[in-house]
């Protein structure tokens, strides 16, 4: 590698600070830093810094912005009922013919949770301490048994957590799944900027790199060979969910079937927002295309606008659950490139100061740029949005306590399991509706409640905390 030329390029771009400690580095350090820098397009990064970092980009709200239409959770008339039944059957047929694969995005840093390790390894099981990955694996195992076809699970990691994620799967024997059917792939990285647009060093021999957002998934599917593998395995429907939501409807025949029957390229579950400012992206339509407008970008007069019956006009919030057609991803990434819009996030990023001391800031000091998968929605010729049910589908584990936390997620898992037990005929509640005990079910039972027959006659003792495996 021509270091002098690389250095000159960085200096010409006003980014020479990345070489500040070069002379102090050993060979390994030099190789690492030079490798990172050689992969950068300094001009493009400076353009990004000018557009997103030095000034704050304004999100233009199109004048024709309207709420996106959606399929209601429950059919409203006989015709819809028949159509939903047809869609459900089509979804089950997709599963039975092995055309559906799973895609978990697990490349994030999980900073809010404050957990040391990949988020998927977090012990979310309310009684068992089962990991998030363990929940998904159990669900996949049950679906394979129910539909009689192997399901390939694609897991996106990032350079930060790829090694520990793979190790965790090995230590847990892939949770009983066939290791051949689990494919890890790594997303791209983006360097963090100081507020002045200068690239930050996380160490003397390294840029401060972080994953490039879940929008990075689509290109990473292509570059990793995952798309080619899907094609080889005749799988053309991707069930997409985030690693922090163990209730995600990964195996949802109605959702899969509607996607198929409607000829959708990218579909989404929507949840009715509980208030105008709930922190969910808003499903909207503009220029005939579906688009998500972030909660922070939707102007108050739109967020608060109501229909005649008092319901919110922009009611559809996104829990980040999608069904995506393989062909759509192939089309978007066919040129080996895909640039979704960037989003700016102001973060606290530890970095080297001019003297070579690692500074851990108390306040946001840096800008990270990420792309989001939902920005592919407007690129889809056809989309389907289906209303989901919050209690059964959305338990995001973002924080350790409070709203959207491990605590609230555990409670939702126990409630989901109580509903599964109840529908299988077990007495689980007191007269006031509260649970008599904390019974955690292995995830298999939610997919296949018939399996609960093996516990027939077992009484649930008041006040116990148990795991039913
Ligand atoms: P979040 O936006 O909640 O980010 O990711 P996070 O990194 O998990 O958590 P914080 O914000 O640092 O607390 C939503 C989902 O997208 C994945 C995450 O792993 C999670 O499943 N994700 C996010 C990626 O796979 N890659 C990314 O670059 C960002």
pLDDT tens column, 330-370:
999 999 999 899 999 999 999 999 999 999 999 999 999 99
Per 3-state DSSP, the chain is made up of helix, strand and coil in percentages (nearest 5) of 35, 20, 40
pLDDT of residue 71: 98
pLDDT of 57 above 90: no
Q: How many whole angstroms from 223 Cα to the centroid of ligand 1?
A: 20
108 lines ligand 1 (CB under 6 A): yes
- Kindly report the protein residue whose alpha carbon is nearest to atom 4 of ligand 1: 108
Residues facing residue 290 across a β-bridge:
285
Q: How many whole angstroms from 392 Cα to the centroid of ligand 1?
A: 21
Q: Which helix (H) or strand (E) holds 406?
A: helix 406-423
The span from the CA of 237 to the CA of 93, in Å, is 12
**Beta carbons of 246 and 134 less than 8 angstroms apart:** no
Closest ligand 1 atom to the C-alpha of 370? Answer: 28
Q: How many whole angstroms from 367 Cα to the centroid of ligand 1?
A: 16
Closest CA to 386 of 87, 86, 65, 79: 87
Instruction: Measure CA of the first residue to CA of the last residue in the chain; give whole Å.
Output: 56
Count CB neighbours of 68 within 10 A.
23
91 lines ligand 1 (CB under 6 A): no
Q: How many whole angstroms from 275 Cα to the centroid of ligand 1?
A: 24
- Token code pair at residue 403: 């709203």
pLDDT of residue 1: 83
- Token code pair at residue 245: 């939501």
Closest CA to 443 of 63, 92, 45, 145: 145
Burial class (CB in 10 A: 0-12, 13-18, 19+), 93: middle
**pLDDT tens-place string over residues 284-296:** 999 999 999 999 9
Q: How many whole angstroms from 211 Cα to the centroid of ligand 1?
A: 9
213 — pLDDT class (breaks 50, 70, 90)? very high
Q: How many whole angstroms from 184 Cα to the centroid of ligand 1?
A: 16
pLDDT of residue 106: 98
- Kindly report the protein residue whose alpha carbon is nearest to atom 9 of ligand 1: 110
Tracing tokens 């959305």 back to the chain, one arrives at 394
Closest ligand 1 atom to the C-alpha of 110? Answer: 9
Angstrom distances, CA of residue 47 to CA of 201, 337, 355: 19, 18, 28
- Token code pair at residue 120: 């998927």
The span from the CA of 304 to the CA of 326, in Å, is 37
Closest ligand 1 atom to the C-alpha of 243? Answer: 21
Q: How many whole angstroms from 248 Cα to the centroid of ligand 1?
A: 15
Q: Is 378 helix (H, G, I), strand (E, B) or coil?
A: helix
214 lines ligand 1 (CB under 6 A): yes
The span from the CA of 243 to the CA of 157, in Å, is 10
Q: How many whole angstroms from 467 Cα to the centroid of ligand 1?
A: 29
Domains and CATH numbers, the chain: 41-398 (3.90.550.10), 420-469 (no CATH)
Closest ligand 1 atom to the C-alpha of 245? Answer: 21
Average pLDDT of span 392-414: 97
111 lines ligand 1 (CB under 6 A): yes
Average pLDDT of span 220-234: 98
pLDDT of 308 above 90: yes
The span from the CA of 71 to the CA of 73, in Å, is 7
Residues facing residue 284 across a β-bridge:
67, 291
269 — pLDDT class (breaks 50, 70, 90)? very high
State percent of the chain over pLDDT 90.
97
Closest CA to 166 of 118, 113, 226: 118
């Amino acid at each position: 590698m021509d270091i002098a030329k690389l250095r000159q390029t960085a200096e010409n771009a006003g980014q020479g600070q990345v070489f500040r400690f070069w002379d102090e580095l050993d060979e390994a350090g030099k190789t690492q830093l030079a490798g990172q820098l050689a992969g950068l397009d300094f001009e493009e990064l400076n353009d990004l810094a000018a557009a997103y970092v030095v000034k704050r980009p304004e999100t233009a709200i199109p004048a024709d912005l309207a709420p996106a239409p959606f399929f209601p959770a429950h059919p409203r008339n006989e015709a819809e009922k028949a159509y939903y039944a047809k869609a459900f059957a089509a979804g089950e047929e997709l599963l039975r013919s092995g055309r559906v694969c799973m895609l978990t995005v697990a490349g994030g840093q999980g900073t809010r949770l404050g957990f040391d390790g990949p988020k998927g390894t977090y012990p979310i099981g309310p009684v068992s301490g089962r990991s998030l990955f363990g929940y998904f694996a159990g669900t996949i195992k049950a679906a394979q048994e129910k539909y009689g076809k192997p399901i390939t699970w694609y897991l996106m990691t990032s350079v930060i957590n790829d090694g520990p994620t793979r190790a965790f799967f090995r230590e847990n024997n892939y949770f009983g799944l066939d290791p051949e059917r689990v494919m890890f792939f790594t997303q791209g990285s983006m360097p963090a900027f100081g507020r002045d647009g200068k690239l930050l060093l996380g160490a003397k021999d390294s840029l401060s790199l972080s994953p490039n957002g879940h929008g990075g998934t689509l290109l990473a599917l292509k570059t990793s060979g995952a798309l080619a593998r899907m094609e080889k395995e005749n799988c053309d429907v991707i069930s997409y969910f985030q690693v922090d939501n163990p209730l995600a409807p990964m195996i949802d025949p109605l959702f899969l079937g509607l996607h198929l029957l409607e000829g959708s390229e990218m579909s989404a579950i929507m949840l009715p927002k509980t208030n105008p400012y709930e922190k969910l992206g808003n499903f909207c339509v503009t220029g005939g295309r579906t688009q998500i407008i972030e909660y922070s970008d939707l102007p108050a007069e739109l967020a608060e606008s109501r229909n005649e019956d008092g319901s919110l006009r922009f009611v559809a919030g996104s829990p980040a659950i999608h069904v995506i057609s393989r062909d759509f991803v192939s089309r978007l990434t066919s040129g080996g490139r895909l640039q979704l819009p960037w989003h700016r996030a102001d973060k606290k990023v530890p970095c080297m100061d001019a003297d070579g001391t690692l500074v851990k800031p108390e306040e946001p000091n840096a800008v990270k740029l990420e792309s989001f998968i939902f920005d592919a929605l407007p690129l889809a010729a056809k989309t389907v949005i289906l209303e989901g049910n919050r209690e059964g589908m959305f338990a995001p584990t973002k924080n350790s306590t409070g709203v959207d936390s491990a605590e609230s997620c555990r409670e939702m898992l126990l409630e989901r399991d109580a509903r599964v037990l109840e529908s299988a005929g077990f007495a689980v509640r007191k007269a006031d509706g509260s649970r008599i005990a904390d019974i955690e079910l292995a995830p298999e039972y939610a997919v296949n409640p018939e399996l609960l027959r093996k516990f027939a006659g077992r009484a649930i003792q008041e006040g116990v905390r148990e795991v039913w495996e």
